[in-house]
Amino acid sequence: MLIKDYFNEGETVALEIKGLSSRNRTILVSDEDIQHFRSQLVTPDNVNSDVLNRVICMDMLDGTGLVPDASVDLLILDPPYNLDKQFADYKFKSMTNHDYAQWFESWFLPMLRTLKQTATIYVCGDWRSSMAIQSVLEKHVVVRNRITWEREKGRGSLHNWKNASEDIWFATVSDDYFFDPSAVKLKRKVMAPYRNEAGMPKDWTTDEEAGTGYRLTHPSNLWTDLTVPFWSMAENTMHPTQKPEKLIAKLILASSEFGDVVFDPFLGSGTTAVTAKKLGRSFFAIEREEEFAVVALKRLQIAEQQTAIQGYEDGVFWERNTNAERKGAKKTAVPQELE
Ligand SMILES: C[S@@+](CC[C@H](N)C(=O)[O-])C[C@H]1O[C@@H](n2cnc3c(N)ncnc32)[C@H](O)[C@@H]1O
């Protein structure tokens, strides 16, 4: 079956992919892409002193050596979780909590030198990895909160609860840090539309075009408004554990300012770098597997023209399944539940 390669907008580069629906918007990498983007990577054979806004294709410990001291405002860590998982040519093997904590600490400590005194750190993990992550963070930085993200998608089990949530630990280097909750407000449909004595909406606003009421709510540490990327979303890639741009956008907007520097040493498909670029931040980015590093470069190229972040419009995050209500929202072929 032929599907459209969304890399070139307006230009139909057809790729032969078996078994993918014509509505599948997954960003694919062709042999030509690999040839094209490979030369743009920073590799051990091609080390360049200026690695800001580049993708470093190396082991993260070597790549971290290229990041200057005290240059990073926001560190986003999405390492392999403590699970058996194949990442391109490399398989991460699950280990005891103690060994996972040791492994985490072995690379986390060398990274601390790259952080400013005012920097923030977010670390993603599942319930099992979380125990080790918390113990290491508490030894070296100030742990401030744990966000739980209801990611929904997960494999059901006959013998256990379906694993449908992930944690994002929030920590800072010191007590002097930037945090802007007003940048990450959530726009929710009003369930109980109370009015005051004059008949005016109380703590909510009507959206005339949408014909509905909404409330801008303060961001909490429980996130239910985002899903993992699906095949019908323009940001989707073949990476096995890709994070949604909307999730990374919340971290970046709450904990960095325009022009700040974000560092992701486990870049995967490039989500942090792409979202940082869309939001006017710079980045340091490392991914060991060339296949993923090339996807990241391709997404960065797409982001030069396509700056939208699904679920984030007009400076607010929208709760899921509100596509029809959004002002000026176009009817799309994307089913609501896949937003
Ligand atoms: C959980 S994934 C990150 C996914 C990413 N947040 C995204 O949205 O696509 C972890 C990534 O770290 C990479 N990785 C694992 N060990 C690494 C290492 N030692 N150095 C650099 N990258 C590594 C894996 O190849 C994988 O792509």
pLDDT at res. 10: 31
Measuring from atom 2 of ligand 1, which residue has the nearest CA? 268
Q: Is 286 in the pocket of ligand 1 (CB under 6 A)?
A: yes
How many whole angstroms separate alpha carbon 284 and alpha carbon 50?
10
Q: Is the pLDDT of residue 316 over 80?
A: yes
301: helix, strand or coil: helix
Distance 12 CA to ligand 1 centre (A): 30
189 belongs to a structural domain: no
Q: Is 60 in the pocket of ligand 1 (CB under 6 A)?
A: yes
Q: Is 287 in the pocket of ligand 1 (CB under 6 A)?
A: yes
* Per-residue pLDDT tens digits for 257-304: 999 999 999 999 999 999 999 999 999 999 999 999 999 999 999 999
Q: Is the pLDDT of residue 334 over 70?
A: no
Q: Is 104 in the pocket of ligand 1 (CB under 6 A)?
A: no
Distance 84 CA to ligand 1 centre (A): 14
pLDDT at res. 284: 98
Mean pLDDT score of the chain: 86
* Per-residue pLDDT tens digits for 240-252: 999 999 999 999 9
Q: Is the pLDDT of residue 34 over 70?
A: yes
Which ligand 1 atom sits nearest the alpha carbon of residue 264? 6
279 belongs to a structural domain: yes
**β-strand 212-217 against 186-189: which pairing, if any?**
antiparallel
Task: Read off the amino acid at residue 168.
Answer: I
298 belongs to a structural domain: yes
pLDDT at res. 78: 98
Q: How much of the chain is helix, strand and coil, in % rounded to 5?
A: 25, 25, 50
Q: Is 299 in the pocket of ligand 1 (CB under 6 A)?
A: no
Measuring from atom 7 of ligand 1, which residue has the nearest CA? 242
Distance 268 CA to ligand 1 centre (A): 4
58 belongs to a structural domain: yes
Owning domain of residue 58: 26-179+217-305
Distance 235 CA to ligand 1 centre (A): 17
pTM of the model: 0.88
| CA dist list (Å): 326 to 188, 250, 253, 316, 335 | 11, 19, 21, 11, 15
Distance 266 CA to ligand 1 centre (A): 4
pLDDT at res. 335: 33
Rounded to a whole number of angstroms, the CA Rg of the chain reads: 21
164 belongs to a structural domain: yes
Q: What is the CATH number of the domain that holds 174?
A: 3.40.50.150
pLDDT at res. 6: 33
Q: Is 64 in the pocket of ligand 1 (CB under 6 A)?
A: no
pLDDT at res. 188: 80
Q: Is the pLDDT of residue 96 over 50?
A: yes
pLDDT at res. 211: 58
Q: Which of 83-97, 150-164, 190-204 has the lowest mean pLDDT?
A: 190-204
Residue 175 CB neighbour total at 10 angstroms: 9
310 belongs to a structural domain: no
Distance 92 CA to ligand 1 centre (A): 10
269 belongs to a structural domain: yes
**Higher-pLDDT residue of 268, 13:** 268
* Per-residue pLDDT tens digits for 165-221: 999 999 999 999 999 999 999 888 776 666 777 777 666 666 655 556 787 888 999
pLDDT at res. 48: 72
Mean pLDDT of 74-90: 95
186 belongs to a structural domain: no
How many whole angstroms separate alpha carbon 264 and alpha carbon 75?
6
Total domains in the fold of the chain: 1
How many whole angstroms separate alpha carbon 275 and alpha carbon 269?
12
Q: Is 80 in the pocket of ligand 1 (CB under 6 A)?
A: yes
